[in-house]
A and B are shown apart, each in its own frame.
Chain A
Amino acid sequence: MGASIGGTDEYNSEINVTPMVDVMLVLLIIFMIVTPLLQQGVTVNLPKDMNTPEEDSEITKDTSVVISIPNNTDFYIGKDQFPLTALGEKIQSMMKDKAPDKRIVYIKSGVEVDYGRVVEAIDTIRKQDIDKIGLVADKKKGGESPQK
């Protein structure tokens, strides 16, 4: 009696978690691989919790020009360091294939950097006949939208 219950007729009420674990592991590995790839250029202490910056997927594109200013001494384009004097040439060569309305240079500057350094970079950008600058900043989650 007891043997027949325990052996053959009892349904196994446990969920089969193996496929779930498989999916989880795959997702985990995907995220682990993708996360370092998404971070481009050097690490910069960007301004955080801003209310009004517009989202712009162009920033992370390989073709867009992003100048990073992590501290008061260095300028980077992508992952390469450039002296201020060489920035202009580099920007010019990166921009030459772009349509005039796409000519925007993004600046990722740390909050502790002196505005003067940023101005030096902007001045260099301006010398390449580019008048649009994108100041990269982190948007506050659920930030208020600007008044219309």
Chain B
Amino acid sequence: MAMTSAGSGAVPRINVTPLIDVLLVLLIIFMVITPVKPSRFEAKVPAEPKDQQNLDVKPNPLTLVVSINSATRAISLNNEAAGDVTDASALTGKLAEIFKTRETNGVFREGTNEVEKTIFIKSPTTVKYGDVVKVIDAAKMAGAQPIGLQIDDLTQ
């Protein structure tokens, strides 16, 4: 009697292991897809040129202008070649060097005691946005802050 109950009473239990496997994988997939914290580059835009013809604007000799060549995708820093868009580490190196000498020499932004690390990015309008962002990234790697986007009088 006891023997028969043990033999015929097969417990109808579902094998849940594959189910858990699938669930775990799905869970992980959704966790990965969930976007990471959004991040952004902060850039500044120079004020709109209004009636500034009469203003006596003194050009800042410390200003660094990074420009991109639309045809060759080369980057130049104050008209000096500084690598190209595919490998912007040359720009990072150059900028870092400049900022370092400025730090040791104590070159400050006018009226403050912060080292002048302003850069401007000037790019022709036909350059792809992705390339411009790469340049911004490279400049920030060197510690440039603030980054200005020159948006007037751009070439094609």
With an 8 A cutoff between CB atoms, is A99 at the interface? no
The residues of A that contact B38 with a CB separation of less than 8 Å are 55-57, 59-60, 136
Do A21 and B23 contact each other (CB < 8 Å), given the known contacts A57-B38, A112-B129?
yes
With an 8 A cutoff between CB atoms, is A53 at the interface? yes
Chain A 34-50 near chain B by CB (<8 Å), digits 1 or 0: 11001100000001001
**CB closest residue in chain B, given A121:** B151
With an 8 A cutoff between CB atoms, is B83 at the interface? no
Within A101-132, which residues are at the interface with B (CB < 8 Å)?
A: 104, 106, 109-119, 122-123, 125-127, 131-132
Give the CA-CA distance A38 to B37 in the complex, in Å.
Answer: 11
The residues of A that contact B41 with a CB separation of less than 8 Å are 50, 52-54, 134-135, 137
Q: How many A-B residue pairs have CB under 8 A?
A: 175
The residues of B that contact A51 with a CB separation of less than 8 Å are 137, 140-141
Within A75-119, which residues are at the interface with B (CB < 8 Å)?
A: 104, 106, 109-119
With an 8 A cutoff between CB atoms, is A13 at the interface? no
Q: Are A21 and B136 in contact (CB under 8 A)?
A: no
Q: Are B37 and A55 in contact (CB under 8 A)?
A: yes
Q: Are B23 and A28 in contact (CB under 8 A)?
A: yes
Q: Are A133 and B129 in contact (CB under 8 A)?
A: no
Do A111 and B128 contact each other (CB < 8 Å), given the known contacts A24-B20, A35-B30, A52-B141?
yes
Do A3 and B2 contact each other (CB < 8 Å), given the known contacts A54-B39, A133-B45?
yes
Q: Please tell me the number of chain A residues within 8 Å of chain B, measured between CB atoms.
A: 63
Interface positions of A (Cβ within 8 A of B): 2-4, 6-7, 17-18, 20-21, 24-25, 27-28, 31-32, 34-35, 38-39, 47, 50-57, 59-60, 69, 104, 106, 109-119, 122-123, 125-127, 131-139, 141, 144, 146-148
Interface positions of B (Cβ within 8 A of A): 2-3, 5-6, 16, 19-20, 23-24, 26-27, 30-31, 33-48, 96, 123-134, 136-137, 140-143, 149, 151, 154
**Can you list 19 A-B pairs, Cβ within 8 angstroms, ordered by A?**
A3-B2, A3-B5, A31-B30, A38-B35, A39-B35, A47-B137, A53-B39, A57-B37, A104-B42, A106-B40, A112-B128, A115-B124, A122-B149, A122-B151, A126-B47, A131-B47, A135-B40, A136-B39, A146-B142
Given contacts A28-B27, A47-B133, A116-B124, 20 further A-B contacts (CB under 8 A): A3-B2, A6-B6, A18-B16, A20-B20, A35-B33, A39-B35, A52-B140, A54-B42, A56-B38, A56-B39, A59-B38, A113-B128, A119-B149, A119-B154, A133-B44, A134-B42, A135-B43, A137-B40, A146-B140, A146-B142
